[in-house]
Structures are given as structure tokens and as C-alpha cells.
Amino acid sequence: MQSKINYTVVGLFVLILSIILFIIPIWLITGLSNIQYKTYIVYMHESVAGLSKKADVKYNGVGVGYVKEIRLNPDNPRQVKLILDIEGNVPIHEDTVAILNTQGLTGIAYIGLKGGNPASPLLKASTKDYPVIQSAPSLLFRLDETIRHLTLSIQRVSKDMQILLSAENQRSVTNILQHLDKISGTIATNSTELDKTLKQFPQLMTRFDHTALQTQQVMNAFAEQMLPNAISELQQLTSLTAKLNQVADNIQENPSSLLRGQELPTSGPGER
């Protein structure tokens, strides 16, 4: 009787342990919670090395979901398509962005969400597919791009320096310095004559001013004396031209006046 009881207890213990061992993995995989998730898509434009399935999705550092799937975008293999499950009560707005981050020194990668102005509309799917959260470059990607551009800039500067310091440019600079040295020597040799010329410059300016004043006086005298006479002569010439025009008109109307002279007008009644 004692052995039968022991077998029964052992059987119950094994059965309970089997049930526990069967339930625990299911609980770890699916989770026995009432949390409802919404599915979103993120297209990453960089490498997602270090990111794995079930990696955390954090909104401003707070865990709100996990990475459900990681695959290449079939329409564009340069992009990585991430499918995220995020708690349904977390507001995902149209201006919310997803960034690939690493945690601490361990380098564990996760997806960080940030942004999301409360005034911005909630994100909705534009097609039958899931809503798409916009992505932003990670810190490592930005550092890599900055270093790459800096390297290219250094290479361009190095090439420019090589061109600048070429043998031909060095000869040109040497020739320029030699010419400058000759010019300096010439100026030093003729410095005495140059000083004399500079000293005479004020006298030349005074003479120029005096000549300009005399020219102005001559012009004023011409305007005061010659112009009135010229205007009077022009007026007389205009009057003479008018008279000649009148004579020409009379001859055209009565050509016989050239022989007989101009006829006197006929006397009126009572006139002689």
C-alpha cells in the first residue's frame, strides 16, 4: 500500500512539473498579459548590425514594444525593413521618428522613438499595409558621414597644396620675388628724384589752379562780350532772310515786277 501511494505522488509531481515546463516557454514566447500591440513599419537607410528580433523599442528611453521582424526591403535592397510591435496605448504621431541606438558599452542595439508633437495627427496607414514610421540617421551613421566628408576635404586640401607647391609654381614665386627686389632697388636708387618730384607736386597743383582760373575768366569774358553781338547778328540775319523770302514770294506771284517794278495799289474813291 505504501509503494502505491509513493508511485501516485511521484506521478502527480511529474505531471505538474511537465505542465509547468510546457507553460513557461509559451509564457516567455507569447506573454500572458493583456497588453494589446499595434504593428508599425520602419525603413532604415543604414546597416542594422547588432539589432536582433525581440530587441527593445523605447520611446524617450521607456520600453514600449519590441522588434518583431528584420528583413531587407524587397523593393529596395539598400533599405532594411523593420516590423515593430508597439503598445496600443502609446501615441505614435506623424512626426515621430525611429533611430537605431546602442545601449552602453555592450553595444546592444535597440530602436529609439522620439518626437511626436501632441498637436500632430496620429500616424495612420496610407495603404492596406501597416503605418510607416519615418527613420532618422543614427549617431554612428552621422559620425561616419562627418568623418568621410572630413577625409575628402583633407584629400582635396592636400591636392591643392601639392599643386601650390609644385616646381613650376615655386619658380613663378621666385621670379616674382626677384622682380620685386629689382623694383625695390630701382625705387631706392631714384628715391632722390622721386622726393624732388613729390616736393614740386604742390607747385604744379598751384599752377594748374591758376591756369584753370584764367580759363574760367576768358570764358566768362566771351560770354559777356561776344555772345550778345553774336545774338544781335543772328537776329539781323533772320530779319534779312524774312525779307528775301517776301521778295521771292512777290516775284513768284508777279514775275513782270522784275521789269516794270512793283505796281502801286489802285486809288480808292476820292483818292488821287
42-56, 58-72, 139-153, 206-220: which has the minimum mean pLDDT? 206-220
Alpha carbon separation from 123 to 42, 65, 83, 120, 217 (Å, rounded): 13, 16, 15, 9, 90
Residue 40: which pLDDT band, with cuts at 50, 70 and 90? Answer: very high
Span between the terminal Cα atoms of the chain, in Å: 193
Question: Where along the chain do its domains lie?
Answer: 37-137, 166-249
Indicate the SS3 state at residue 157: helix
* Backbone dihedral region for residue 47 (phi beyond 0: left; psi -120 to 50: alpha; all else: beta): beta
Q: Are the CB atoms for 81 and 73 separated by under 8 Å?
A: yes
Residue in this structure with the C-alpha cell 614740386, named with its chain if needed? 200
Please tell me what DSSP assigns to residue 123. P
Instruction: Please tell me the predicted confidence (pLDDT) of residue 242.
Output: 75
Instruction: Please tell me the predicted confidence (pLDDT) of residue 134.
Output: 92
Instruction: Please tell me the predicted confidence (pLDDT) of residue 71.
Output: 92
Return the axis-axis angle of helices 191-253 and 167-189, rounded to nearest 10°: 90
Whether residue 72 is predicted with pLDDT greater than 90 in this model: the reply is: yes
* Backbone dihedral region for residue 61 (phi beyond 0: left; psi -120 to 50: alpha; all else: beta): left
Alpha carbon separation from 100 to 1, 111, 140, 145 (Å, rounded): 66, 5, 9, 15
Angle at 127 between CA 125 and CA 130, to 5 degrees: 45
CA proximity to 75, closest of 127, 142, 113:
127
Instruction: Please tell me the predicted confidence (pLDDT) of residue 68.
Output: 93
Whether residue 83 is predicted with pLDDT greater than 90 in this model: the reply is: yes
Residue 139: which pLDDT band, with cuts at 50, 70 and 90? Answer: confident
Kindly state the average pLDDT of the residues 39-53. 90
pLDDT in tens, 203-248: 777 777 777 777 777 677 666 666 666 677 777 777 777 777 776 7
Kindly state the average pLDDT of the residues 140-152. 84
Half-sphere exposure of 33 (CA within 13 A, CB side): 8
